[in-house]
Chain A
């Protein structure tokens, strides 16, 4: 039953994404200054929102784990962190492709790029730490503490990088602020299937984590004899 629901949800997400692609390339006109490459924003921005949302949920479920000591919340924390990391990477890569076209360079030390990279490193550290601890309850406890530390660090990183970089000359970033309503709607229309995809991935990853823990428990049980 659960499996069918997940397949159904990902099917819906896929159909919506296809429909959005059609609208993006056929109905929506090119942006005046940037041309066709502008369309990358319909993926670039929603995946960033999804990644931020994942960080929020990771911190929330880490705190919940420390309070309840229920490993279900730990499984949720690792699932959202991993999926969030993937979406963050998608955000960075899509941004780099856009930057190559518009700025002429793959990477600029712009505040947003830098802070996103630091966040990715922080949460990659979380996954590395997890893989280095064998005992499930110890792993959950230490990982939860790290996740809380990382979550407090993220806003400080974002603000400080903003201060730091604005003192230096930057490449001319497209001003932003205003956006055509049709573009604006597409941003949210595309966010929905992307979010749906994230939910499906998190559910699959949680199931993996549960099975992984069961295997570990069975192995320990077998070693007792």
Chain B
């Protein structure tokens, strides 16, 4: 177990280090999310009361779109110099490789979210600071779900000609229940309702989705990566 953890963290640290040095995906993802936030202001009246009702939905659409940019790079980055073959043939087992990459993606996507969240609050006059600890829990659970599905599908599509096109087509329908849960919880928190009451079943859905697909992804990671 100790070895598995060390291997996982090594992979995660490697991915984070190479991303922090180049900032390729991170820069693209942050600016993309700000562009989407801007585009929303043309789709509806930004100062209306209605904004609060749909705030959760807007945010998670931004996060899911921004996530695709990071997830696309996750395995594609390893194609240069056949790094993926080297990783697969190294003593690191598939589950450790998968979990390490997922953790790195989680950290990166959370960074993007933590940057775009205040921007959203300023643009659309949404107060969120008082609810931040619970919001972060929801963000963590939702982002982990996006990342588990996304990292798995990034590994599945890495060798395809149409990689960039296939990932969003496959990933978004799969994520719909997760996004619905995250949207409901976030909207409840932004409207000051807390996570009890109406949001409670959605929180359970988030946790259930994360658990089911984490187990499934780890169990099938060797099949996808090694064959």
Provide the residues of chain A in CB contact with B151, threshold 8 Å: none
Bound-state CA distance A156–B213 (Å) is 11
Main secondary structure of the interface of B (DSSP, over half): helix
* Cβ-defined contact, A129 with B177, below 8 A: no
- Is B169's CB within 8 Å of the partner chain A? yes
Main SS class of interface, A = helix
In the complex, which residues of chain A have a beta carbon less than 8 angstroms from the beta carbon of B216? 148-149, 152
* B162 interface hit (Cβ, 8 Å): yes
Q: Which of B177, B212, B223 meets A160, CB within 8 Å?
A: B177
Using a Cβ–Cβ cut-off of 8 Å, how many residues does chain A contribute to the interface with B?
29
Interface: B205 (CB within 8 A): yes
Annotate B141-156 by CB proximity to A: 1 below 8 A, 0 otherwise. 0000000010011001
Indicate whether B160 reaches chain A with its CB closer than 8 angstroms: yes
| B209: Cβ under 8 A from any A Cβ | yes
Contacts A129-B166, A152-B212; is A66 near B223 (CB within 8 Å)?
yes
Q: How many angstroms from the CA of A125 to the CA of B175 in the assembled complex?
A: 13
B170 at the interface (CB under 8 A from A): yes
Contacts of A133 in B (CB 8 A): 159-160
Please tell me if the beta carbons of A149 and B152 are within 8 angstroms of each other in the complex. Answer: yes
Contact B205 A153 (CB under 8 A): no
Distance to closest chain B CB from A166 (angstroms): 11
Cβ-based interface call for A26 (8 A): no
Pick from A15-23, A80-88, A139-147, A189-197 the stretch touching chain B: A139-147
Q: List 23 A-B contacts (CB under 8 A).
A: A66-B223, A122-B173, A125-B169, A128-B166, A129-B156, A129-B157, A129-B160, A132-B157, A132-B161, A132-B162, A132-B166, A133-B159, A137-B227, A141-B223, A144-B223, A145-B220, A146-B153, A146-B170, A149-B174, A153-B174, A156-B177, A156-B212, A160-B180
Binding site for A on B (CB under 8 A): 149, 152-153, 156-157, 159-162, 166, 169-170, 173-174, 176-177, 180-181, 184, 198, 201-202, 205, 208-209, 212-213, 216, 220, 223-224, 227
Q: Which residues of A contact B (CB under 8 A)?
A: 66, 118, 121-122, 125, 128-129, 132-133, 137-138, 141-142, 144-146, 148-150, 152-153, 156-157, 159-161, 163-164, 167
